Amino acid sequence: MHKIGQIRQNFADEEDVGGQKCKPYTVHELVRNQNNYIEPLKLLHDSAKNAILSKLEAESSLLDSIIQLIGAYNEETSKGIVAETFPEGKKQICFMCGAVADMDYKPGKHFLQSGGFTKRTSLDDQYKRYCDACQIEFQLINDIIKVRDFKETDNLIFFYFYFDSIFINVDAFNEQMSKVEINVKGTKTEKLGLNFTLGDFNTPFHIEPMAIRSKQKDNSSKSTRRARAIHTAIKACTNSGCKCVSTSPYTLMRTYDYVFYNEKPTTLEKNIGIDHISNFRGAGLKIEQLDLINQLDGLKGLHSVQQFIPINVVPFVKSKVENFASWVIKNGDYLKKLLGDENLEMKEIAKKGEILFGKHFGNSSYKRVKIFRTALDSLMSSMAQKYSDEEAIRFAAAEVWKDVEREQYSPKKGKDIPTDCLDYIQSIVVYLKKHGLWNVKKISQWGNPLTDLYEFEYILAIKT
């Protein structure tokens, strides 16, 4: 067993693993590369089996069934480590759920090819097979798709709507209640809308497939369109009080303690926060956030923003509106409500800038951000010349002081301008360090978004 012990020790010696986590790492290595360790695993098999059986109250048949289930789940038998076993009567495995099956699978519209790759087939089975339960599910979903008249080239997303509370004693109102409509219009157009009634919930789940079609070939418009479809499903939840799971057909249908749960989210959907939503209040906030982005750019807006955070959203808004200052004066407080309190640090910096430089530059974007840009440029310049942090701060404060002195209209009575400039720069440096932006490359990369965020807060400070 020296070879296996050495694998464990190698993981224990790794800095990010250590002695506490080396065991699961060792097991993962043995499972992943089992063919390289067949001989030591065969030697270990009997002692491991006896150790497990000694912990079980009943004799061995339980362990054999566990091994068979693991073998079926992991696509194939275990290459000689345990005896190869197949279901009685030479029946094969359902490629959808892994149960015993002998019925040949015949694909319908939008579904897997009969000869295509699948994990759930045995090694000697030439064709896919499915069990009775999965055949019923297949026919149900295929019928839904035929009724909707989708194209075979459509990329489909499936929404399973359900209520987690059951109403009783409503027979007298059954007809009226069944006609209650749940209607959600798509963003800007009705192509991604949903329309169904309470009468459609004659089974626990109402399944709504939706086609994600895009004339644009690039991924940005496709991913935004898919996110917009999910946006519509979340609206349906808040409108009707039901819950929703976004998933693929042919799955074990699970319910979750969430209003909305996405079982296969894309990276964008995780970033934008529509992989799961805990409660209806959170769903309402998310709908408002997505509405704002889609109103400004329904084609690629969500892909452009990626995350609903100030440093992403504010520059996006500025790039989409004609008069940024007017938009902020009208909508800035609402946007801050949607963003939460994440941008309070920049708010304090903008207030200090307004006190230091004046608040009468409402019509000049250049003037509003002049000293902030000077601060960033001076910090980058001094850091590039290997100044210490203290020297860089003093150098940038001196450059900002020059800007303030040159401005003839800034009221200076009662001000200690050098001290205020130093405090202003120190606040910026604290912000940059806290957000991992304290180096020349990061400041250069994020300089424009940071400036847009500063301008947003500066305009609100002037308004106040």
For 269-273, which contacts have Cβ atoms below 8 Å and span 24 or more sequence positions? 269/226, 269/227, 269/230, 271/306, 271/307, 272/227, 272/302, 272/305, 272/306, 272/307, 272/308, 273/308
pLDDT above 80 for 118: no
pLDDT above 70 for 296: yes
Provide the pLDDT for residue 77. 42
- Is there a contact between 409 and 358 (Cβ–Cβ < 8 Å)? yes
Rg (CA), the chain: 31
pLDDT-above-70 percentage for the chain: 74
Which three-class secondary structure state does DSSP give residue 312?
Answer: helix
Dihedral in degrees, nearest 10, Cα atoms 372, 373, 378, 381: 150
pLDDT above 80 for 142: no
Question: Averaged over 114-140, what is the pLDDT?
Answer: 61
- 152 against 99, higher pLDDT: 99
- Is there a contact between 215 and 229 (Cβ–Cβ < 8 Å)? no
pLDDT-above-90 percentage for the chain: 22
- 67 against 257, higher pLDDT: 257
pLDDT above 90 for 288: yes
Per-residue pLDDT band at 319 (split at 50, 70, 90): very high
pTM: 0.67
For the four alpha carbons of 116, 120, 124 and 125, in that order, the dihedral sign comes to negative
Provide the pLDDT for residue 214. 67
Provide the pLDDT for residue 153. 67
In the predicted model, what is the mean pLDDT of the chain? 78
Per-residue pLDDT band at 100 (split at 50, 70, 90): confident
Per-residue pLDDT band at 61 (split at 50, 70, 90): low
* Cα 270-271-272 angle, rounded to 5 deg: 95
Per-residue pLDDT band at 76 (split at 50, 70, 90): very low
- 137 against 268, higher pLDDT: 268
Lowest mean pLDDT among 40-54, 75-89, 137-151: 75-89
Amino acid at position 366, single letter: Y
**Tokens found for residue 436:** 């991992």
- 178 against 231, higher pLDDT: 231
- Is there a contact between 93 and 131 (Cβ–Cβ < 8 Å)? no
Name the one residue in this structure whose structure tokens are 């250049």. Answer: 366
Question: Averaged over 161-187, what is the pLDDT?
Answer: 66
Angstrom distance (rounded) from CA 374 to CA 405: 14
* Cα 262-263-264 angle, rounded to 5 deg: 95
Angstrom distance (rounded) from CA 371 to CA 387: 21
Dihedral in degrees, nearest 10, Cα atoms 391, 396, 397, 403: 150
- 357 against 260, higher pLDDT: 260
Strand 103-104 and strand 129-130: the pairing is antiparallel
- Is there a contact between 154 and 229 (Cβ–Cβ < 8 Å)? no
Question: Averaged over 365-384, what is the pLDDT?
Answer: 90
